[in-house]
Chains A and B, each alone.
Chain A
Amino acid sequence: MALLDIEGLSVRFQTSSGLFAAVEDVDIRVDRGEVWSIVGESGSGKSVSMLATMGLLPWTAQVTADRMEFDGRDLQQLSARERRRIVGGEMSMIFQEPMTSLNPCFTVGTQIDEMIKQHKGGNRKERHERALDLLAQVGIPDPARRIKAYPHQLSGGMSQRVMIAMAISCDPRLLIADEPTTALDVTIQAQILELLLKLQEETGMALILITHDMGVVAETARNVIVQYAGRQVEKQAVKSLFASPRHPYTEALLSALPERASGQDRLPTIPGVVPGQHDRPTGCLFNPRCQYVTEHCREVAPVASPGDPARTLCHYPLGSPGDATTPDDVSPGDLPPAPSDSDASQSEVRP
Chain B
Amino acid sequence: MSGDAVLSARHLTRHYQVKGGTFSKPATVKALNEASFELYPGQTLAVVGESGCGKSTLARVLTMIEPPTSGELTIGGHHVSLKEGQRPPAELRREVQIIFQNPYGSLNPRKTVATMLEEPLRLNRREMSATERREKALEMIAKVGLRPEHADRYPHMFSGGQRQRIAIARALMLNPRILVLDEPVSALDLSIQAQVLNLLADLQDEFGLAYVFISHDLSVVRRIADDVIVMYFGQPVETGPAEEVFTTPRHPYTQALFSATPVADPNRQRERVKLKGEPPSPLSPPPGCPFAPRCHLATDECTQIDPPLETVVDGVEVACIHVDQATAQHAVAEAR
Contacts and interface: CB of A to CB of B under 8 A. Distances in A.
A115 to B, nearest CB: 25
B272 interface: yes
Nearest to A228: B191
A269 B191 contact: yes
B193 A260 contact: no
Interface residues of B, number: 38
B216 A258 contact: no
Contact of A273 (B192, B275, B277): B192
A256 B265 contact: no
A191 B264 contact: no
9 contacts: A186-B50, A186-B216, A190-B272, A212-B189, A238-B266, A239-B267, A252-B191, A259-B222, A266-B201
A219 B190 contact: no
A94 to B, nearest CB: 18
Given A41-B189, A187-B50, A218 B262 contact: yes
A267 B194 contact: yes
Interface stretch (B65-73, B253-261, B328-336): B253-261
Nearest to A272: B191
> Which residue of A187, A213, A270 has the most chain B CB atoms within 10 A of its CB atom?
A187
Interface string A147-187: 00000000101100000000000000000000000000111
A269 B194 contact: yes
A157 B159 CA distance: 30
Contacts of B248: none
Contacts of A212: 189-190
Contacts of B222: 258-259, 262
Majority SS at the chain A contact face: helix
A63 interface: no
A69 B274 CA distance: 40
B154 to A, nearest CB: 16
Nearest to A240: B266
B197 interface: yes
B266 A257 contact: no
A191 B195 CA distance: 31
Contacts of A219: 262-263, 266
B263 A258 contact: no
Contacts of B191: 41, 252-253, 256, 269-270, 274, 289
A303 interface: no
B198 interface: yes
Contacts of B261: 186, 215
Given A185-B216, A267-B197, A216 B262 contact: yes
Contacts of B257: 186-187
B51 interface: yes
A289 to B, nearest CB: 8
B265 A218 contact: yes
A256 B198 CA distance: 11
Given A216-B262, A262-B223, A253 B190 contact: yes
A143 to B, nearest CB: 15
B256 A187 contact: yes
A215 B263 contact: yes
Contact of B264 (A155, A218, A262, A289): A218
A257 to B, nearest CB: 5
Given A157-B278, A218-B266, A257-B264, 9 more contacts: A185-B51, A187-B50, A238-B266, A242-B265, A257-B219, A258-B197, A258-B223, A260-B264, A269-B194
